Amino acid sequence: MKSSLIQHLVCPQCGSGMYIEGGHRGVRDFVQGTLLCLGNTHKYEIDRGVPVLVPPDTTEEQVQVADVFARKWGMVPDYGHDAATRDFQREWYLQRFGWETTDQLKQFLIQKERILDAGCGLGRDVKFYAENTKGTVFGVDISDGIILAQEKLGHLPNMHIIKADMTRLPFPADYFDFIACDQALHHTPNTRDSFTKLVNHLKPRGHIAVYVYSKKGVARELADNLIRKYTTEMSHDDCMTFAKACTTFGRAVSRLNSEMQRDIYWNIFKCFWNEDYDFNTNVATNFDWYRPKYAWRHTPDEVKGWCEEANLTIEHFDVCDSGISVRGCKPQ
């Protein structure tokens, strides 16, 4: 944890400022230590260079979701950083949020002083932002995958990594010039409420960009609800076995007829397969759909309604088979 981070933080439980007590420094940053709020009421630890600002009353369901993604990121610790997944995800990201090129994103970020990636996982987008802005980038995630993100990105001078719940952020209101939440908001207890809470941390004239799962056809929705009724109650190991079976099926059908595999995938049940990824990465993708307690799906009208409720001006809106992406601006 960089010592400069403390000036940005507030206690996620009481909202007061924070300070570091004791601690052990590494070559550059704090590796261990304790964070206390100014009221000396709440304390949090620094774990392997990452401040852990998750309140102790976090629900069992949220802990389960965090454990799922810790398991996923442990399976694929280079996801979003290796060439295949990085290049695909960056191109898809730019397309969905309305930037045709990295240069266009860089131009958008040029006046953004503080940028938040909420639900950053292994820090794929944190790195992307940090490389393309002079501003300060904050990556937040509730899972222990954030430790891997710190290991990969801790050397970057303009970014901070924090373990926290995006619905109870350790930052003041009206604080960020840009908030991104890509492929994570639907894994919170209530997508709409979580969106509203993120907007509360956005400065006037700041921007927010989110992606959420979209509702599919009737057959796929029925299958998802039925299958997830069981897989969310399985052990991680049993659900991993199920995810491997889905992956094996998806691979076999894809190699027989790729169009048929995509048709089954979008309209009947999720059996993800991408020939450019290794088997383990495909399994992880199916696992992160079937295992977490929360995996909400939404309609374009719902997402537009959230923006209207938050008084956001929609600057870009994209709907594809998998989900809905929106970029909006908060009024002055």
Same-domain check for residues 238 and 110 = no
Structure-block tokens of residue 130: 């940090």
Same-domain check for residues 265 and 280 = yes
Region 20-24 average pLDDT: 76
Same-domain check for residues 92 and 206 = yes
Encode pLDDT of 189-239 as tens digits. Answer: 999 999 999 999 999 999 999 999 999 999 999 999 999 999 999 999 999
Amino acid code (one letter) for 10: V
Region 130-152 average pLDDT: 97
Region 247-254 average pLDDT: 98
The domain in which residue 265 lies consists of 218-290
Q: What CATH number corresponds to the domain at position 94? A: 3.40.50.150
pLDDT at 66 over 60: yes
Q: Which of 282, 229, 232, 273 is nearest to 72 (CA)?
A: 282
Beta bridge partners of 314: 328
Same-domain check for residues 186 and 250 = no
Q: How many domains does the chain have?
A: 3
pLDDT at 39 over 70: yes
pLDDT at 182 over 70: yes
pLDDT at 23 over 70: no
Same-domain check for residues 105 and 188 = yes
Neighbouring C-beta atoms of residue 52, cutoff 10 Å: 16
Dihedral angle of Cα 59, 225, 95, 200, to the nearest 10 degrees: -30
pLDDT at 21 over 90: no
* Per-residue confidence band for 29, with pLDDT thresholds at 50, 70 and 90: confident
Region 142-163 average pLDDT: 96
CA 291 from centroid of its chain's CA atoms: 16
Q: Whole-model pTM? A: 0.95
**CA–CA gap between residue 295 and residue 111 (Å, rounded):** 34
* Per-residue confidence band for 22, with pLDDT thresholds at 50, 70 and 90: confident
pLDDT at 30 over 90: no
Neighbouring C-beta atoms of residue 279, cutoff 10 Å: 12
Same-domain check for residues 74 and 133 = yes
Same-domain check for residues 167 and 279 = no
Same-domain check for residues 138 and 254 = no
Same-domain check for residues 28 and 92 = no
Same-domain check for residues 100 and 171 = yes
pLDDT of 24 reads 65
Same-domain check for residues 121 and 207 = yes
Region 83-104 average pLDDT: 95
Same-domain check for residues 159 and 210 = yes
Encode pLDDT of 279-318 as tens digits. Answer: 999 999 999 999 999 999 999 999 999 999 999 999 999 9
pLDDT of 48 reads 93
Percent of the chain topping pLDDT 90: 94
